[in-house]
Copies of this chain bind each other. A is one copy, B any other.
């Protein structure tokens, strides 16, 4: 079914907002010749506080928009959407669909030494139990401790990634993780890498932080190789950004995530 998609087609990536740009960035580093269409569903952001049914509905809408642009594969660069909607999308779509949870879980399984893994994420991601399920599918002997940290996303969106407020919030949320003596902590939300310094400061140098963006980019590369549709185009790749709310606001906040200017942003209604 997937033979209609070719190496010149773009990779589609979606997230509820700007957070998925951390994944976008890793994919462009790993696969610099690939064209990418990124969709941020900024009119409905955040997904992390919404129910699974609602997140599935929104994820279907995002996928449809990107498929209309002729993508060769879809990356669900949002932990909540990956947790709630990945299986549905994999069943319904005729392109390969990769989420961020399994790559992050696999990385944590490789890293842990004391067999105690912590996972932090949005309420939606944590309640779905997608991380413990994925981690235990790799190794049922591992212990997994999960904690929802609802204030981390608004802290990042506000730009308060250092200072007393971020530090105190991190101390409160992470106290359990320190008590549980985890040696590996999965940053189970694409916003959280921007709080890496604060989180690392609270957890201490013994704990390894896992950012699934990197592992996800690796899986994307494997899938494209497996399908023999890796781009070998010599020209500059296309990088296109779509949003469901104001393009201007996305460009401003997105700059922090991408570490560089975002070019043209197009508004889409769905």
- Please tell me which one of the listed residues B53, B169, B244 contacts residue A165 in the complex, with CB atoms under 8 A apart: B169
- In the docked arrangement, what's the CA distance between A220 and B157, Å? 36
9-residue interface stretch from A41-49, A195-203, A206-214: A41-49
Task: Say how many copies of this protein the assembly contains.
Answer: 2
* B164:A168 contact, CB within 8 angstroms: yes
Least CB distance, A266 to chain B, in whole angstroms:
14
Q: Which residues on the B side are within 8 Å of A88 (C-beta)?
A: none
Q: In the complex, which residues 134-156 of chain A have their Cβ closer than 8 Å to any Cβ of chain B?
A: 150-151, 153-155
Q: Which residues on the B side are within 8 Å of A49 (C-beta)?
A: 45, 157
* A51:B158 contact, CB within 8 angstroms: no
Q: Which residues on the B side are within 8 Å of A164 (C-beta)?
A: 164, 168
- In the docked arrangement, what's the CA distance between A44 and B43, Å? 7
A249 within 8 A of B: yes
A50 within 8 A of B: yes
- In the docked arrangement, what's the CA distance between A226 and B107, Å? 66
Which residue numbers of A lie inside 8 Å of B, CB to CB?
Answer: 42-45, 49-51, 53-54, 150-151, 153-155, 157-158, 160, 164-165, 168-169, 172, 244-246, 249
- Ranked 4 nearest A-B pairs via Cβ: A51-B246, A154-B154, A164-B168, A165-B168
